[in-house]
Structure 1
Amino acid sequence: MSDYIIGIDAGTTGIRIFCFNKSGNIISSAYSEFKQHYPKPGWVEHDAEEIWAKTEKLILKAIRNGKLSPSKAVAIGITNQRETTVLFDKDTGKPVYNAIVWQCRRTSEICMDFKSKGLEPLFRKKTGLVLDAYFSGTKIQWILENVKGVKARAEKGKILFGTIDTYLLYRLTNGKSHKTDHTNASRTLIYNIEKKEWDKELTQILGIPDSILPETHNSSSLFGRTEKVKGLPDGIPVSSLVGDQQGALFGQLCTEPGEAKNTYGTGCFLLFNTGNNFQISKNNLLTTLGCGPEGKTVYCLEGSVFIGGAVVQFLRDNLKFFKESKISEKYASSIKKEDDVVFVPAFAGLGAPYWDMNARGAILGLTRDTTAEQITRAALKSIALQSYELVEAMENDTGSKLKVLKVDGGATGNSWLMQYQSDILGKRVVRPSNVDTTVLGAAFLAGLERGFFPSVADLKKKLKTSKEFSPQMKQSQREKEIQIWKDSVRRIRTNQ
């Protein structure tokens, strides 16, 4: 029986476990969703204990599904939803409060207060991020200040902080390893990405004790070894931790400056590799850390769209347009003429390049004969148009034109959307044969650390393209649709 790598993809709506062979192919998998909690409007939480329990069960299920031997697992790699914040008991590993999810807007007022005090330039300079409820820092502060007894326990060294990668690592190692990687740390709002260390000035502003923070390492590192995990032998190395979007960047092997990828999941996340160039965006993008050759840290520009594929879930679950998301492609393809229906899915505010926390969604251009198919097409267009604005901002920042966009994530299975993305960008769009590049990146990084994969050059030989989309839309139509979109966004913005 052959050796394999276990990849854990701890996403926003579910857990996926994949087992990869030496060719980088998936030989087994398992998946389960977990519950979303919405205690108040704009608040989003997860039960971190449920995430751990499902992860533990699914690892065993994936091994059984592939009829694999647990002893043949060479390493574990973890990729995760970033920013989502867990505070947990140092002794038991039990969360002291639900995980506050990256989508949660409860700390918007805290961010506005810091902005009013003129603190945003300080945070921007040190972290590469904007002051937004999206990131971990104000979520940590909220739990410390609002959950009874937690702040006092934290000051006594009895509480630890982690993003989901750190929490899963802690449980996998039976509390032996409290660590994270640079990519996840760079999304907390308290990590100095130039020095690659926790920033004491920022932690003091937020009232966060340094004792709760994990050690930071390169994404491809020995983070710890399994201990007392059901169904697994002790001692399996956990050899990579990487934030989901940086995992996808590495999974697409965008390891050189000038390469970019866009992941279409719940949101859309476009990363552009700038190499060793630490650049603060002039176009409201984020500067973050990614993985270059052999997993070493590089800088990236990132554009984050809060609602990407989730807009299709909204049509399915809230408006009951269809029972399965894949029907959206059929709906969009069925319309043969253009219209002016525009869907701006600002359900949780607008991300880059606007960063408007208070904007809310809207459907414009409705008439008496507007159909569900038209609204569905407008929803799919919104995913591509938001992504267009990210590419536009990146090109303005870097002064260079992107030639090809590599894409991944669940929504890339919608070929109508991918063709429209190519049309609206006026660029080639390349979809890989394995669209789960997020967890593939974690597996690549873990395998490199163990010598399971010899080099990045070797990995590049393994990547396969499924389909390439080339632009077919007339330039005049493209410009018209972009202008209608921008006019629509302008109508719902609150921070102009």
Structure 2
Amino acid sequence: MAAAEEEVLGLLVGAVDQGTTSTRFLVFNSKTAELVSHHQIEITQEFPREGWVEQNPKEILLSVYECIEKTCEKLELLNIDRANVKAIGVANQRETTVVWDKITGEPLYNAVVWLDLRTQSTVENLNKRIPRNNNFVKSKTGLPVSTYFSAVKVRWLLDNVKKVQKAVEEDRALFGTIDSWLIWNLTGGTKGGVHCTDVTNASRTMLFNIHSLEWDKELCEFFEIPMKILPNVRSSSEIYGLMKVGALEGVPISGCLGDQSAALVGQMCFQDGQAKNTYGTGCFLLCNTGHKCVFSDHGLLTTVAYKLGRDKPVCYALEGSVAIAGALVSWLKNNLGIINRSHEIEELAKEVGTSYGCYFVPAFSGLYAPYWEPSARGIICGLTQFTNKCHIAYAALEAVCFQTREIWDAMNQDCGIPLNHLQVDGRMTDNKILMQLQADILCIPIIKSSMPEATALGAAMAAGAAEGVGIWNLELDSLSAFTMERFEPQINAEESEIRYSTWKKAVMKSMGWVTTESSESGDSSIFGSLHLGFFIVSSMVMLIGARYISGIP
């Protein structure tokens, strides 16, 4: 790049943002953190049985290749040389599990996605083996034994997939979360690909000791997972290897963070007590607790926030995880058909401005924090003959906010110091009704940055700041220069409490709907087997009539 152009643009840093529903590649200006160009591709989710969620690892990988190529083409249309991209970071959906053959490079099974529920009976059996007075799993990992995390998914693959069993026996199998699968392929795959992960992703497997920052032999023996299949653990900001394929061949991959840690970095939450909430497929509230692990007494997770360099100290976070947020809007679109595009939910909700006593608990994958209750399933309460699709749309947005309130309350209790505002990011934050509802339900201001791509930005920052790259200063003043949109509470605290307490009653009614057997086998009881969409639609038809669902007067 010409010196004058470099002075204006700054050096560029790319970021792979591989999420549950889409893959994106984004390029940022390292001087101002502004987005220069990007490309996005939707990703297919497969549901082979009730409660099972899978994705094709090869589709994910191909989507990354295509996003990189298309973004580079767009750069050239802007008269920007792709050679200006000096580093690449990776942010990924966490916990999603891939096992592949290191000789052929082929996945040995579909990726088992983080919100998959097939391992419920495995979890219950494992919990019975943990001494009541010595929960060594939680003390070492900061996590409850749950279907959410990678170890039980690997255990299921080892128990049920012969190709995986054979590959492990023959020393051909490699395990990784999505970051490991991508980095291995991008750095050469079967021809010398780097098998690694970073501390944030490793901390979500239930096999990693968050104190020693190493794979833990006792945990691996407990889950009966061979350590030889595990990736090498690195910091979140260092050169892992060079791109060996595509338009950016030779560019170092030098940043890696699980998506929620990446958003924490992208939101510049580097101080103790700073918190952010990301509204994506799920909803994830993280609070930086600095260099000490804070263990929750209220259903939250203790996790590694980031380690921004091999010689840098590790930082930890408390996390509240909600499985269903944006996925609820997708469900209303794809399963019920009451909207054609996701943004239409805001228009529907705006028509009524209230749920009119309708409450939605979207426990499609059970309830995560603070309950950790896999037997829960989604319900809609408070239906009357007056209820129509607008009220249901409004109730769906409220559900996202009520779930955030639950983990916000737990966060305040564990931290001991009430948080006085909440920084937010994610695609759902474009919905102004959702943001106002969140301020009303939390009774605090909601702060939204003009830079919505916090996850990708965080991965790019880690990549650009890595030793040997050194083109990004994480203390740069311009990173805090984005304009902020502020949503102040508009209802009184008493009204907020009444609505929240009613929501809590609905949550209690959602629990205990499925048995272990129905979750594990795909067979079902009278409640557990019914597809959730069919159950709710049938109930609504009986209660309020099809004309109210469609909104026809």
* TM-score bin (small chain): over 0.9
Residue 474 of structure 1 aligns with which residue?
A: 492
Residue 430 of structure 1 aligns with which residue?
A: 447
Q: d(CA) in 2 for partners of 1:451 and 1:96?
A: 35
In the alignment, structure 1 residue 24 sits paired with structure 2 residue 41: no
Q: 1:317 aligns with which of 322, 334, 341?
A: 334
Q: 2:102 aligns with which of 90, 99, 111?
A: 90
- Residues 428-457 of structure 1: CA deviation (Å, up to 9, x unaligned): 111111211011100011111155544222
Contact 2:354 2:394 in 1 (8 A): no
Residue 231 of structure 1 aligns with which residue?
A: 247
Per-residue deviation, 1:93: 2.1
Residue 179 of structure 2 aligns with which residue?
A: 165
Per-residue deviation, 1:42: 0.5
Q: d(CA) in 2 for partners of 1:151 and 1:486?
A: 44
| Percent identity over paired residues | 41
Instruction: For residue 318 of structure 1, give the secondary structure of its aligned residue in structure 2.
Output: helix
Residue 440 of structure 1 aligns with which residue?
A: 457
Q: 1:116 aligns with which of 125, 128, 135?
A: 128
Q: 1:13 aligns with which of 21, 30, 34?
A: 21
Contact 2:33 2:478 in 1 (8 A): no
Q: d(CA) in 2 for partners of 1:150 and 1:214?
A: 16
Per-residue deviation, 1:152: 3.6
Q: d(CA) in 2 for partners of 1:431 and 1:453?
A: 27
Per-residue deviation, 1:338: 6.0
Residue 287 of structure 2 aligns with which residue?
A: 272
Amino acid at match of 2:60: I
In the alignment, structure 1 residue 146 sits paired with structure 2 residue 146: no
Per-residue deviation, 1:297: 2.2
Residue 306 of structure 1 aligns with which residue?
A: 323
Per-residue deviation, 1:44: 0.6
Q: 1:57 aligns with which of 66, 76, 80?
A: 66
* 1:239-318 map, 5 Å: 239-291=254-306, 296-318=313-335
Amino acid at match of 1:100: V
Which deviates the most, 90-99 or 11-20? Answer: 90-99
The structure-2 alpha-carbon separation of the partners of 1:155 and 1:53, relative to structure 1 and needing over 3 Å to count, comes to same
The structure-2 alpha-carbon separation of the partners of 1:323 and 1:491, relative to structure 1 and needing over 3 Å to count, comes to same
Contact 1:249 1:260 in 2 (8 A): yes
The structure-2 alpha-carbon separation of the partners of 1:323 and 1:220, relative to structure 1 and needing over 3 Å to count, comes to same
Which deviates the most, 202-211 or 258-267? Answer: 202-211
Q: 1:334 aligns with which of 351, 354, 359?
A: 351
- Residues 404-428 of structure 1: CA deviation (Å, up to 9, x unaligned): 1000001000011001101111111
Per-residue deviation, 1:322: 1.2
Residue 48 of structure 1 aligns with which residue?
A: 57
Residue 549 of structure 2 aligns with which residue?
A: none
The structure-2 alpha-carbon separation of the partners of 1:76 and 1:454, relative to structure 1 and needing over 3 Å to count, comes to closer
Contact 2:349 2:394 in 1 (8 A): yes
In the alignment, structure 1 residue 102 sits paired with structure 2 residue 102: no
Q: d(CA) in 1 for partners of 2:139 and 2:481?
A: 36
Instruction: For residue 334 of structure 1, give the secondary structure of its aligned residue in structure 2.
Output: helix
Instruction: For residue 360 of structure 1, give the secondary structure of its aligned residue in structure 2.
Output: coil
Instruction: For residue 475 of structure 2, give the secondary structure of its aligned residue in structure 1.
Output: helix
Instruction: For residue 87 of structure 2, give the secondary structure of its aligned residue in structure 1.
Output: strand
Amino acid at match of 2:121: E
Q: d(CA) in 1 for partners of 2:41 and 2:148?
A: 25
Instruction: For residue 385 of structure 1, give the secondary structure of its aligned residue in structure 2.
Output: helix
Where do 5+ consecutive residues of structure 1 fail to align?
none
Contact 2:359 2:506 in 1 (8 A): yes
Per-residue deviation, 1:117: 2.2
Contact 1:453 1:459 in 2 (8 A): no
Residue 517 of structure 2 aligns with which residue?
A: none
Residue 360 of structure 2 aligns with which residue?
A: 343
Contact 2:19 2:93 in 1 (8 A): yes
Contact 2:72 2:247 in 1 (8 A): no
Instruction: For residue 393 of structure 2, give the secondary structure of its aligned residue in structure 1.
Output: helix
Instruction: For residue 456 of structure 1, give the secondary structure of its aligned residue in structure 2.
Output: coil
Which deviates the most, 345-354 or 217-226? Answer: 217-226
Contact 2:308 2:462 in 1 (8 A): no
The structure-2 alpha-carbon separation of the partners of 1:114 and 1:210, relative to structure 1 and needing over 3 Å to count, comes to same
Contact 1:256 1:293 in 2 (8 A): no
In the alignment, structure 1 residue 34 sits paired with structure 2 residue 43: yes
Q: d(CA) in 1 for partners of 2:14 and 2:469?
A: 15
In the alignment, structure 1 residue 75 sits paired with structure 2 residue 87: yes
The structure-2 alpha-carbon separation of the partners of 1:364 and 1:276, relative to structure 1 and needing over 3 Å to count, comes to same
- Residues 197-224 of structure 1: CA deviation (Å, up to 9, x unaligned): 1011111121211111111111011111
Q: d(CA) in 1 for partners of 2:367 and 2:131?
A: 21
Per-residue deviation, 1:371: 0.9
Q: 1:455 aligns with which of 458, 473, 484?
A: 473
Instruction: For residue 301 of structure 1, give the secondary structure of its aligned residue in structure 2.
Output: strand
Q: d(CA) in 1 for partners of 2:314 and 2:348?
A: 43
- Residues 320-344 of structure 1: CA deviation (Å, up to 9, x unaligned): 1111111111221221456210000
- Residues 279-316 of structure 1: CA deviation (Å, up to 9, x unaligned): 21100100000126777421110000000111111111
Q: 1:130 aligns with which of 111, 129, 144?
A: 144
The structure-2 alpha-carbon separation of the partners of 1:338 and 1:259, relative to structure 1 and needing over 3 Å to count, comes to same
Larger C-alpha radius of gyration, 1 or 2? 2
Q: d(CA) in 2 for partners of 1:351 and 1:205?
A: 23
Q: d(CA) in 2 for partners of 1:410 and 1:149?
A: 38
Contact 1:255 1:292 in 2 (8 A): no
Per-residue deviation, 1:151: 2.3
Q: d(CA) in 1 for partners of 2:355 and 2:473?
A: 48
Contact 1:254 1:261 in 2 (8 A): yes
Per-residue deviation, 1:76: 0.7
Per-residue deviation, 1:69: 2.7
In the alignment, structure 1 residue 417 sits paired with structure 2 residue 442: no
Per-residue deviation, 1:119: 5.4
Q: 1:204 aligns with which of 205, 209, 221?
A: 221
Contact 1:19 1:63 in 2 (8 A): no
Contact 2:461 2:472 in 1 (8 A): no
Amino acid at match of 1:25: E
Contact 2:298 2:410 in 1 (8 A): yes
The CA RMSD measured in Å over matched residues stands at 1.6
- Residues 165-220 of structure 1: CA deviation (Å, up to 9, x unaligned): 01100001013311100000000011110111101111112121111111111101
Instruction: For residue 468 of structure 1, give the secondary structure of its aligned residue in structure 2.
Output: strand
Q: d(CA) in 1 for partners of 2:237 and 2:298?
A: 31
Q: d(CA) in 1 for partners of 2:94 and 2:227?
A: 20
Q: d(CA) in 1 for partners of 2:218 and 2:380?
A: 43
Where do 5+ consecutive residues of structure 2 fail to align?
514-553
Which deviates the most, 180-189 or 117-126? Answer: 117-126
The structure-2 alpha-carbon separation of the partners of 1:463 and 1:166, relative to structure 1 and needing over 3 Å to count, comes to farther
The structure-2 alpha-carbon separation of the partners of 1:448 and 1:459, relative to structure 1 and needing over 3 Å to count, comes to farther
Provide TM-score, normalisation by structure 1.
Answer: 0.96
Amino acid at match of 1:102: W
